[in-house]
Amino acid sequence: MVDKANIDNYKQRVIADFNSRTNYDNDLRYRLANPLVELAQLQSGQKILDVATGTGIVAIAAAQIVGNQGKVIGVDISRGMLSQAQQKITVACLQNIELIEADADYLNFNDNSFDVIFCSSAIPWFSDIPGVLQSWYRFLKKGGLVAFSCFAKTAYTTSVVYRTVAQRNGISISNVNEILGKPEKCRQLLQEVGFVDIEIKQEQFGDYISLSDLESWWDINLNNAMGNPLLQVPEKLEQCKVEYIAELEALATDKGIWNDITTFFVLAHK
């Protein structure tokens, strides 16, 4: 969970992080997004909300299905992401998508407004996940569908090793995938809000990381927008890095180091 006392700083780090991303439309992002649209079985004329729309991968796919009789609203906290989404929308000549720059933790739509609410792989970035799910429940029409993807607690091997090494050196780093990191946790949170007919499909999008990439993955973990207590104890940085590389090297095979990306596709009805 995000430290509530530092929530404003956290939000600014997230905005800066995503504003700087220019290669977001990679293969993994589409593999995390497209199955949600397929599983939702959208119909012409429906009204859709895509939370943390990013570059509009889900929003654009949904808009093409619901047609001009329907509407898609894409919301994101990052102006940079929305700018990229708008460029793609313009190229696709779509007139039924509205983009809104807003914080997903504080959305304010009328109750019973949407047929479907999507969120592709962005839930860990929210500072109040239970509160967000409660809002989505209110925003949905009776019988409406929420569809989101999220990662398992064990996802991203380099991050797991990074947190383990930090913990061994007396530094606690939270796992952003903890809250929804198991199917039973997803189910429990949704049931507590009131969702029913919950379905959870598990997929593995992992791949191998080469040993030569370990330095770059160290930097990714060190500079994560969620914040990093390890940066507050620079005298332990080098020791942690040595242990981190040693542990990952011990996991290496002739193919490289397996990077787990266990993903859940979650659907639930109001």
For residue 145, give the 3-state DSSP assignment.
Answer: strand
Kindly tell me the sign of the dihedral angle through the C-alpha atoms of 212, 213, 217, 223.
positive
| Site of tokens 């997803």 | 186
Residue 44 lies in a domain: yes
Residue 84 lies in a domain: yes
Residue 168 lies in a domain: no
| C-alpha–C-alpha distance, residues 22 and 20, integer Å | 6
The angle at the Cα of 11, spanning 33 to 132, to the nearest 5 degrees, equals 55
For 81-98, the pLDDT digits (tens) are 999 999 999 999 999 999
Residue 189: band (very low, low, confident or very high) from pLDDT cuts 50, 70, 90: very high
Residue 14 lies in a domain: yes
Contact 40, 145 (CB under 8 A): yes
Whole-model pTM over 0.85: yes
From residue 160, give the alpha-carbon distance in Å to each of 2, 10, 226, 248: 18, 21, 15, 10
Residue 217 lies in a domain: no
CATH of the domain at 115: 3.40.50.150
Question: Is 228's pLDDT higher than 80?
Answer: no
How many structural domains is the chain composed of?
1
**Residue 101 phi, psi (nearest 5):** -85, 110
Residue 162 lies in a domain: no
Expressed as residue numbers, the domain containing 121 is: 4-153+175-206+262-269
Looking at residue 97, its pLDDT comes to 98
| Furthest-apart CA atoms within the chain: distance in Å | 60
Residue 253 lies in a domain: no
For 10-52, the pLDDT digits (tens) are 788 888 888 888 888 999 999 999 999 999 999 999 999 999 9
Looking at residue 251, its pLDDT comes to 95
Residue 57 lies in a domain: yes
| C-alpha–C-alpha distance, residues 113 and 47, integer Å | 8
What totals of helices (H) and strands (E) does the chain contain, helices first? 9, 9
For 98-157, the pLDDT digits (tens) are 999 999 999 999 999 999 999 999 998 898 999 999 999 999 999 999 999 999 999 999
